[in-house]
Amino acid sequence: MQLGKELQDSAGTGTSAARTTGRRKNTAVIYVTFLILTLDLSMMFLQFSVTPYLAKKLGFDTLWFGYLQTTVGVAQLIGGPVFGRFGDLFGARAALTLVCSANVVFFVLLALANHPILLFVHKIPTIFMHIVPACQMVLTDLSEPEKRADVLSKTGLCFGISLILGSTLGGQLNARFGESFTASVGAAVSAFNLLLVLCFIPKFTKTEAPRSSNKTESQKQGVFNVREITRLMKYPRVMQIFLIKVIGGLPAGIFQVMFSIVSMDFFQLQPEEHSYLMAFFGIVQMVIQGAVIGRLANRFPEKTLLLLSIGVAALVGLVQTYMETVFQLCISITLMMFSLSVLNVITDSILTKSVPSSDSGTMLGLCASVQSLIRTIGPTAGGFLYVNYGLSSLGLLQLIVNGTVFVYLLSRRLRNSAKDD
C-alpha cells in the first residue's frame, strides 16, 4: 500500500514537472512569435515609406495608385481563408515559413521594380503574406481558452511598436539611401525572420498534430476545398459573431482607409505633422492593446465587451459627424482605436473558441479576410462619400451602422435575461 502510494506521488510529481516544462516552452514560443510579428509589421510600415514615392517616380497618378492598393486587398481577400486552412493542415511552422518566404520575395521584387508593371508584379506575393493570422494560430494553440483574449490583445502592442519603428526607419532610410536600398533592408529583415521561424517555432502547435499516416476526412479534402472552409459558419454563434465583426468594423475601416486624404485635404496637415500624428496613434495603440484590453478581458464577460465596443463605435460616429479641429480628430481616433481593437480581439476570441481547435487556423484566416475586404471596397466607398457628402458623412455612416448593431445586441441581451428570469 505504502509503495503504491509512493509510486502515485512520484507519477503525480513527474506529471506536474512535465506540465511546468511544457508551459515554459509554450511561453518561450509565444515571446518569439511576438518578436516575429513585430519585425514583420515593422517592415510593412517601412514599405509604406517606399511604395508611394516609387509609384510617383514611375508615373502613377492617384487613380492608378488606388488600383495598386486594390490589388493587394483582392489578393489577400482570396488568400486569407485558404492560408488559414493551410496552417491547420500543415502546422504553424509551415504557415509562418510561407509568410516569411513571401515577404523576402516581395521586398526583392520591390527593390528591383523600375517599371510600372513590375510594381504590380511585386504585389503578387501578398496573397501569402498573412503574418497576423499566422501568429494568431500559434498564440491560439498555445494559450489557455480563458486567457486567449488577453494574449491576442498583445498583438496590437506589437502593431503599435511596429508603427513607430517601421515608419521612422523607413523614412530615414528612404531619405538617405533611396527606395531600392530600403526595400533591400526589408528583404534582409524578412530573411532573418524566416530563420527565427525555422529555429524556434515547433512544427505543430496544436494539441493533436495532424498525422500523414492517419489523415482525417477534412485533411483529405485539401487546402482549396471551399466547402471545408465555409462549413465553419454552421457552428453555433459563428455566423452571428462573424457578421457583427464585418458590419461593426466596416465604417471604422472605411475611415481608416480615408485617413491620409482627410488629414491632408480637410485638416491641411503637412507631412511632418502627419508623421507626428501617426506616432501619437502608435503610442495610443500600444497602451490600448498592451495595458487596457487584457485587463478588461480578465474582468468582464466577452459579451459585455462586445456590446461596449459597438457602443463606443457609435459614439465615435457622432463625434466625427461634427468634427472640425485636429484635437477633435485625435479624440475620435483614440476612441475608434479602442472600439475597433476590442471588437477584433473579442470576436477573434469568441470565433476560435466556437470551432474545434483543429479548425482555428481556418477561422483566423476568415477573420483576416474581413480586413482585406475593407481594404478592397474601402477606397471606393470612402472616396464616394467624402467627395459627394463631406467628412461628416463618414461619421454619420458609423453612427447609423453601429447604432443599429448596438440596439440589436442590447435587445437580444435583454430578451435572454428575461428568459433566464
Q: How far apart are CA 269 and CA 141, in angstroms?
A: 44
Q: What is the pLDDT, as a whole number, of residue 194?
A: 95
Helix/strand/coil percentages in the chain, nearest 5: 85, 0, 15
Instruction: Show me where the domains of the chain are located.
Output: 16-204, 228-421
Q: Is residue 325 packed enough to be buried (19+ CB in 10 Å), middle (13-18) or exposed (0-12)?
A: exposed
What CATH architecture is 228-421? Up-down Bundle (1.20)
Going residue by residue through the chain, which has 421 residues, state the pLDDT in tens, using 9 for 90 and above: 554 555 455 545 556 665 666 677 778 888 999 999 999 999 988 887 788 778 878 887 766 776 777 788 788 888 777 787 787 788 888 989 999 999 999 999 999 988 888 888 888 998 888 888 888 888 888 877 777 777 777 777 788 788 788 878 887 888 788 888 999 999 999 999 999 999 998 887 776 544 444 444 545 455 555 676 677 778 888 888 889 998 988 888 888 877 777 777 777 776 567 667 777 777 887 788 777 887 888 888 888 899 999 999 999 999 988 888 888 888 888 899 899 888 988 888 888 888 887 777 778 777 877 877 777 777 778 878 888 888 888 889 999 999 999 999 888 888 877 666 5
Written as one letter, the residue type at 25 is K
| DSSP summary character for residue 270 | -
**Three cell numbers, residue 373:** 475586404
Q: In this predicted structure, what is the pLDDT of residue 24? A: 76
Q: How far apart are the C-alpha atoms of 347 and 354, rounded to whole Å?
A: 10
Q: Is the pTM of this model over 0.85?
A: no
Q: What is the pLDDT of residues 93-123, one digit of tens each?
A: 898 999 999 999 999 999 998 888 888 888 8
Beta strands in 75-218 (DSSP E): none
Alpha carbons 368 and 347: distance in angstroms, whole number: 12
From the list 228, 229, 248, the residue with the least C-alpha distance to 317 is 248
Reference 114, options 54, 63, 62; nearest CA is 54
The reply to whether 16-204 and 228-421 are identical in fold is yes
Q: 134: closest CA among 103, 192, 88, 77?
A: 88
* CB burial of residue 361 (10 Å; 0-12, 13-18, 19+): buried
Place of cell 479602442: 338
Q: What is the DSSP secondary-structure string of 187-217?
A: HHHHHHHHHHHHHHS-S--SSS---TTS--H
The confidence score (pLDDT) of residue 403 equals 93
For residue 14, the surrounding DSSP H or E stretch is helix 2-48
d(CA 367, CA 177): 38
b vs e for 108-140, b when ≥16 Cβ sit within 10 Å of the residue's Cβ?
A: bbbbebeeeeebeebbebbbbbbbbbbbbbbbb
Q: Which CATH architecture has domain 16-204?
A: Up-down Bundle (1.20)
CA-based torsion, 350, 354, 360, 366: positive or negative? negative
